[in-house]
Amino acid sequence: MQIQEIIIINNGAQSYGISTQFINQVSRVPALMPLPLRPFGVRGLCSVGGNIVSIVDMNLLLDMNAVEYDAPSSRLVSFNGVYASHAFLVNQVDNIVEVNQKDTEYLDNNDELLAVYKYEDSLIQIVSLDFLLSKIKKVAITSKEIKKGKSETKISLEEKSSRFLIFAMANERFALNIDYLREIIMADVSFTEITGSSSEILGLINLRNELITVLDLQTYYGFEHTLSYKNRILIVSHGDKTIGLLVDGIIDIKNILAKNIEYMSENFEDEKISGVIHDGKNLISFFDATVLDKLFAKNRKFIDAKASIYAMDKSADIALEVIIFELANKEYAFKIENVAEIIDIVKPTEIAYTNKFIDGIINIRGQIITIFSLYKKLNIPKNIHEGCKIIICNINETKIGFIVESVSDILNIHKNEIREQNDSLFTNVLHLEDGKRLVLCMDIDEILSIKGQA
C-alpha cells in the first residue's frame, strides 16, 4: 500500500516519518498521569479527546535518550483506529508533507521501516507503528543502527530567532509565530453553523468539550474557498481567546532569525499581515499578536475562548442553551449541557438481545458508544442518509448517540421564548422568531426511559 502523506518527526539527530493515515491530531503535551509498574517505553497516561491513552516515548522505542517531557518543542502525536489507545511523545514535529512516490523506496523485507523517503536534502525513515508498539512489552531491546536522516538545524546562541509554522494559502505561503499555536487538527470535522455570522466564519467545532469558532483564512485573505484532504485547522490562542483557522495545508515549522523578519504591517491593506519573512529567495507573509487582536475584535461576538459545552455566554434573561436538530421535517432540541460532540453519520453495529430502541454501537476514537433510536421512540418514519449526524450526549457519565437528519443551530433561549409542555418526553416548547418557529425541547432522561415498553 502506497503512503500518501507523512508527518516528519525530529529527535535531534534523525528524522522519521509516520503516515498521517493513522494520525488523529498533534498537540502540546498535556498533564501526565504516572503509571506504576509501567512497561518499557510507556511514560504514563493522559487524556486525549476525552479518552485515556498511554503516552509512549518514541525515543525509548528507538533506543535513544528519553524525550524531555516539559520541553517547549515536545509534542504529543495521537492516533486513530487500532492505534487509538496510544499516543507518541516526540521531541519535535517538523512538518506534514505529501509523499512523492518517485522519491520513495519501499522496504518490503524490513520489519522496522516501511520506506525511505527523499525529502529535500534529507532521507526520512518512515517507521512501522506495528513494529514500534511491539517493542513496548519488551524489557530490553538490542540496539540497531539507524541510518542518519535530516541533520539538526543549528542556530547560533548569539542570534535571536523565533519559531514559525509555515502554511499554504492558495499558491502563497503564510506563517504564524508558533507561540500562538495551541495545536493542529485535521479539517474533516463537523461544523455547527452560527446564525448571523459572516462568510468568513465556518461555524463551531467541539474540541474536548470546548466550543471553538473556526474562521476560513482562505476567505479572510480573499482567496477562493477550496477543501481537500490537505486542509488543517490551526487552534490559535492569544490572551484569553481561542479561534480555529482553516488553512490549505502545513508546509514547515522552522526557526527564523530575527534579522530575516521584517515588520511592516502599515504597508498592508486592512493590517491583515504583520510583515514578511525573508526565507532565502522567498518572501513569506506572517502575522502575530497585532493581527490576531484585530481578527478577534472583528469577530468578538462569535469568539469566546472560555465557551464550552457546559459554559457559554449567559445573560440574565437567558434560561436555556440548546442545540436544535431535525427529524422527519420537525425541529427538536437538546439542552447543550448534555451534548458532548456532533459527528458525521456512522453505521451502527447491531447487537443481539438488546432493547428495541437500541440501533447498535459505534466505535469513536476507541470508545464504544450506544446508539439510541429517536425514530423508534417517537414512532416516526426513519430517514437515514449520508448527510445525517450523530449527536453524542453525556448522560450519567455514559455517552449515548442519537442519529438526526441535520443540526441547524446552537442557541441561547430567553425566558419569554419558553412554554411549558404537558408531555412526558418534552419538557418545553420553544417559541422562536416571535412564535413562527416551534421547537420541541426533549427531556433526555425521559427519552431514554423504557418503562412499560418492551
CATH at 345: 2.40.50.180
Is residue 353 included in any domain, yes or no?
A: yes
Q: Are residues 232 and 272 in the same domain?
A: yes
Number of domains in the chain: 3
Place of cell 493581527: 291
Is residue 232 within 8 Å of 218, Cβ to Cβ? no
In the prediction, which pLDDT does 208 show?
A: 63
In a 13 Å sphere around the CA of 451, the CA atoms on its Cβ side amount to 6
Is residue 312 included in any domain, yes or no?
A: no
Place of cell 447498535: 360
The closest alpha carbon to 32, from 9, 8, 7, 66, belongs to 66
Is residue 290 included in any domain, yes or no?
A: yes
Which residues have CB under 8 Å from 142's CB, separation 6+? Answer: none
Q: Are residues 324 and 442 in the same domain?
A: yes
**H helical segments located in 35-120:** 58-61
Is residue 119 included in any domain, yes or no?
A: yes
Is residue 87 within 8 Å of 41, Cβ to Cβ? no
Neighbours of 154 (CB within 10 A): 7
Is residue 151 included in any domain, yes or no?
A: no
In the prediction, which pLDDT does 311 show?
A: 42
Q: Are residues 283 and 322 in the same domain?
A: no
Is residue 280 within 8 Å of 260, Cβ to Cβ? no
Q: Are residues 381 and 278 in the same domain?
A: no
Q: Are residues 187 and 225 in the same domain?
A: yes
Query: Which of the residues in the chain have pLDDT under 50?
Result: 36-37, 138-158, 305-316, 450-454
334 CA to centre of own chain = 24
Q: CA-CA distances (angstroms) from residue 50 to 364, 367, 389?
A: 11, 9, 20
In the prediction, which pLDDT does 33 show?
A: 64
Is residue 311 included in any domain, yes or no?
A: no
Buried b (16+ CB within 10 A) or exposed e, 188-221: ebebbebeebeebbbbbbbbeebbbbbbbbbbbb
Give the containing element (helix H, strand E) for 335. strand 330-335
Task: Out of 247, 265, 298, pick the residue that ends a domain.
Answer: 298
Handedness of CA 238, 243, 248, 251 (dihedral sign): positive
Task: Out of 298, 330, 346, pick the residue that ends a domain.
Answer: 298
Q: Are residues 124 and 166 in the same domain?
A: no
Distance CA 392, CA 403 (A): 9
Is residue 141 included in any domain, yes or no?
A: no
With left for phi above 0 and alpha for psi between -120 and 50, is residue 349 left, alpha or beta? Answer: beta
Q: Are residues 165 and 202 in the same domain?
A: yes
Q: Are residues 339 and 393 in the same domain?
A: yes
Q: Are residues 172 and 218 in the same domain?
A: yes
Q: Are residues 323 and 380 in the same domain?
A: yes
Q: Are residues 280 and 366 in the same domain?
A: no
Task: Out of 97, 115, 134, pick the residue that ends a domain.
Answer: 134
361 CA to centre of own chain = 23
Residue 3 in grid coordinates: 503512503
User: What is the separation, in whole angstroms, between the first and last Cα of the chain?
Assistant: 48
Strand 330-335 relative to strand 437-442: parallel, antiparallel, unpaired?
parallel
Helix (H, G, I), strand (E, B) or coil at 244: strand
Strand 406-414 relative to strand 75-79: parallel, antiparallel, unpaired?
unpaired
Residue 251 structural domain: 161-298
Q: Are residues 281 and 344 in the same domain?
A: no
Is residue 165 included in any domain, yes or no?
A: yes
